Amino acid sequence: MFRHMADESTTQSSAAFFSARSADQALDALRQGMAQTDLLEACHDMNVAAAVVLIFAGVIFLLWGFYAFKTLVTLNAAIIGAWLGAMIGEHAGAPLPAAIIGAIVAATVTWPLMKYAVAIMGGLIGMIIGMSLWRAFGLEPRFATAGGGMGLIFCGMLSFILFRTSVMMFTSLQGSIMLIFGILGVIYKFQGIDTGMLDHKLSVSPFVMPMAVFIASIGGIIYQNAQGSGEAAAKK
């Protein structure tokens, strides 16, 4: 019994530590933006299972984002709700139950308010793009939130003006990011690959990773649009 209580205590402590660490990293990212070195470090620390999940989820977002966008947006909301719930529940010493409640509440609210949820998702992705571009151009990291704010406003408004196009764009972008990071996470786990050389190449060429994400996103948008055009022609 004591061993069970110790294991439970350890699990709760680990969960609390994870949520606290995630919160600190997120706040740092919001204040200064996410540099490419931070992303590469996250890929280094990623385990194989998480990398494989990212690859499969990235392919789904990238190729079938528009046709399953309600489910995917609800899933995004559930993940964000779980993260926020874990942060709040950490203060009460119960991050896991709070995370579950947060995920359920966020998913329940998101489904009937899908149009607004898409705008929020687009705004968040626009914020990430703006902050990443701010850091990529070597601007002052302390003011990266300014670039993020501009991206948030632009992409959030675009979601209301061009709904179908924006959904394709946002899901393709999220899918390409997940796919690229998942692939890097798998590559870093292979012993025969010179990961130091890969880190060096990506560090001296900071635009390689954004260009890879951009090219994959364009491919996803073209594929989703072609699938939609094909279905429309078949109905006629």
User: Range with the lowest mean pLDDT among 42-46, 107-111, 164-168?
Assistant: 42-46
CA–CA distance, 159 with 170 (Å, rounded to integer): 9
Nearest alpha carbon to residue 56 among 227, 136, 175: 175
Q: Average pLDDT of the chain?
A: 78
Is the sign of the CA dihedral 158, 161, 166, 167 positive or negative? positive
Which amino acid is it at 3? R
Using alpha carbons only, give the angle 51, 61, 117 rounded to the nearest 5 degrees. Answer: 115
Buried b (16+ CB within 10 A) or exposed e, 96-116: bebbbbbbebbbeebeeeeee
| CA atoms within a 13 Å half-sphere pointing along the CA-CB vector of 121 | 31
pLDDT at 15 over 60: no
Give the tokens for residue 127: 């914020």
CA–CA distance, 183 with 198 (Å, rounded to integer): 13
User: Range with the lowest mean pLDDT among 4-13, 120-129, 211-220?
Assistant: 4-13
CB 187 within 8 A of CB 166: no
pLDDT tens-place string over residues 86-129 = 888 888 788 888 999 999 999 999 988 898 888 888 888 888 88
pLDDT band at 139 (very low <50, low <70, confident <90, very high): confident
CA–CA distance, 87 with 98 (Å, rounded to integer): 8
- How far, in whole angstroms, is CA 121 from its chain's centroid? 10
